[in-house]
Amino acid sequence: MRDVCVVGIGSTKYGKSDLSARELMASAAQGAIADAGIDPDRIASGIFGNAFGVAEKQGHLGPLIMTALGLDTKPATVVETACASGGTAFHHGYREVAGGFSDAVLIGGVERVSMLDTLTATTYFAYGSDFTYEGGTGCSFPGLYATMARSYFQRYGATEQDLANVAIKNHENALHNPLAHLQKRITMEDVMGSMKVADPLKLYDACPFSDGAAAAILCDEKTAREFTDTPIFVEASARAGSIAALHDRPDLTSLPGAVLAGQTALQQAKLTVDQIDFFEVHDCFTIAEVAASEDLGLFKKGTGAKAATDGLTRIGSKRPINPSGGLKAKGHPVGATGAGQVVEVVKQLRGEAGGRQVENARRGLTHNVGATGGTVVVNILSRRS
Ligand SMILES: CC(C)(COP(=O)(O)OP(=O)(O)OC[C@H]1O[C@@H](n2cnc3c(N)ncnc32)[C@H](O)[C@@H]1OP(=O)(O)O)[C@@H](O)C(=O)NCCC(=O)NCCS
């Protein structure tokens, strides 16, 4: 196994876009190539996350992206693990470089869904659940995460206000992120008075439907040092799964795949959670951030919601979560999200995060979830010098 580094990053703004998925992905990839300063010909392959390309009536997206980049002879693969597709693309790029198969790989993720109406988008997204027993029976993702929230409230006595504090914090962080979809400060009154989506979750407990793309160039350490004196190292990249359907699980308040992927990543990196300076986690709904904070061991089981209310997850606290604004406010272009988390961590580790910078950030963790945890990817990145 070789050490793997991120030498270039790129991202489009998240939000509604008139560009096609291939155009969005090519734009983010061009940004990453320029950021790395690498000759594109040295890129051995492209691996891209995308979940709903068929919504644009376009499959086989990989060669279209590579053609747009002038890399038409290079192999390209699109991976689909629902909302974890971008994280999975990163993981496979990491393996390709770590295993010595390629010295430079382009990874990324993209989604474009804003041309769909709410019902159609919700239905497409629900295809990522167990459609026989969940999406197809009416329990789409807002409903599934609402079930988790209900169960959490019942077991641990947390409140809707605790979850609202997650949203308020992430919207505040996104104000400092020019790439964020929702750049709007919100109050407790705004959250509590917002439209019910799936009781107890409301509009401001949910991530929006976003378009967008994100990309990174991964190299082995020797190659990376041709481009930068301060490469960002991938200390760990781990994947795990959970029983696919939420109702089959004994505990609805935790994602077993997140616990396992988190522990595996920390073991790979030979670190404890206390040595990680900040966390970009998959807060598709506010309850998901709370579950992530407990599954990853930041807070004891049943205390994550109160930790949000007590301000323990803000920038400047001991456990900053989602300085980018998270899926909640930065946005959630499904296939791009995991790659976008890596982009944010690299920016933070380089000290390029502006008003949302986590002071002295040396190590950051990404946590990217497909559906309700059928797939989970956890990465740990660091600045060693
Ligand atoms: C909550 C939800 C139903 C709202 O969708 P919608 O009713 O179609 O919302 P619209 O697109 O009509 O937007 C209406 C307004 O609310 C805003 N908005 C939309 N979603 C928002 C969200 N999640 N949070 C905050 N504001 C939101 C829009 O910006 C718009 O504001 P404007 O009127 O000032 O322009 C939708 O965002 C949703 O389902 N999100 C979850 C997506 C999901 O399940 N992802 C997979 C996770 S596993």
pLDDT in tens, 163-219: 999 999 999 999 999 999 999 999 999 999 999 999 999 999 999 999 999 999 999
pLDDT at residue 264 tops 90: yes
380 Cβ inside 6 Å of ligand 1? no
Closest ligand 1 atom to the C-alpha of 181?
29
Contact between 212 and 10 (Cβ < 8 Å): no
Closest listed residue to residue 31, CA positions, set 10, 16, 49? 10
Flag whether 30 is in a domain. Answer: yes
Can you give the residue range of the structural domain that contains 217? 4-116+209-224
Q: Kindly report the number of other CB atoms within 10 A of residue 200's CB atom.
A: 17
Please name the residue that has the structure tokens 């983010």: 28
Flag whether 98 is in a domain. Answer: yes
pLDDT (0 to 100) of residue 385: 83
Closest listed residue to residue 369, CA positions, set 344, 343, 334? 334
Ligand 1 binding pocket mutation candidate from 131, 207, 330 (most atoms within 8 A of CB): 207
Closest listed residue to residue 354, CA positions, set 173, 202, 102? 173
% of the chain with per-residue pLDDT over 70: 100
> Is 83 an active-site residue?
yes
Flag whether 70 is in a domain. Answer: yes
pLDDT band at residue 105 under the 50/70/90 scheme: very high
Flag whether 327 is in a domain. Answer: no
The pair of three-digit structure tokens given for residue 208, joined into one six-digit string: 């929006």
The mean predicted confidence, pLDDT, of the chain is 98
Flag whether 121 is in a domain. Answer: no
- CATH number of the domain that residue 102 is part of: 3.40.47.10
pLDDT (0 to 100) of residue 130: 97
Q: β-pairing, 232-240 with 375-383?
A: antiparallel
Contact between 180 and 331 (Cβ < 8 Å): yes
pLDDT (0 to 100) of residue 231: 95
Flag whether 36 is in a domain. Answer: yes
Closest ligand 1 atom to the C-alpha of 371?
48
The pair of three-digit structure tokens given for residue 296, joined into one six-digit string: 């990853």
User: Atom 10 in ligand 1: which residue has the minimum CA distance?
Assistant: 118
Flag whether 93 is in a domain. Answer: yes
Burial 41-59 (b: 16+ CB within 10 A, else e): ebbbbbbbbbbbbebbeee
Flag whether 282 is in a domain. Answer: no
Question: What residue type is 221 in one-letter code?
Answer: E
Number of domains in the chain: 1
Question: What would the mean pLDDT of 84-93 be, rounded to a whole number?
Answer: 98
Residues 179, 13: Cα–Cα separation, whole Å: 4
Residues 35, 29: Cα–Cα separation, whole Å: 10
pLDDT (0 to 100) of residue 101: 98
Question: What would the mean pLDDT of 50-57 be, rounded to a whole number?
Answer: 94
Query: Exposed, middle or buried, 256 (CB in 10 Å: 0-12/13-18/19+)?
Result: middle
Please name the residue that has the structure tokens 């930065």: 330
Residues 217, 90: Cα–Cα separation, whole Å: 10
Residues 6+ apart with CB under 8 A from 163: 149, 200, 201, 205, 286, 287, 290, 305, 308
Contact between 35 and 133 (Cβ < 8 Å): no
Question: What would the mean pLDDT of 328-355 be, rounded to a whole number?
Answer: 98
Contact between 237 and 379 (Cβ < 8 Å): yes
pLDDT at residue 351 tops 90: yes
The helix-helix angle for 141-156 and 118-126 (nearest 10°) equals 70
Contact between 107 and 339 (Cβ < 8 Å): yes
Residues 6+ apart with CB under 8 A from 157: none
Q: What is the DSSP-derived secondary structure letter of residue 178? A: T
pLDDT digits (tens, 9 = 90+) for 285-317: 999 999 999 999 999 999 999 999 999 999 999
325 Cβ inside 6 Å of ligand 1? no
User: Atom 21 in ligand 1: which residue has the minimum CA distance?
Assistant: 208
pLDDT at residue 104 tops 90: yes
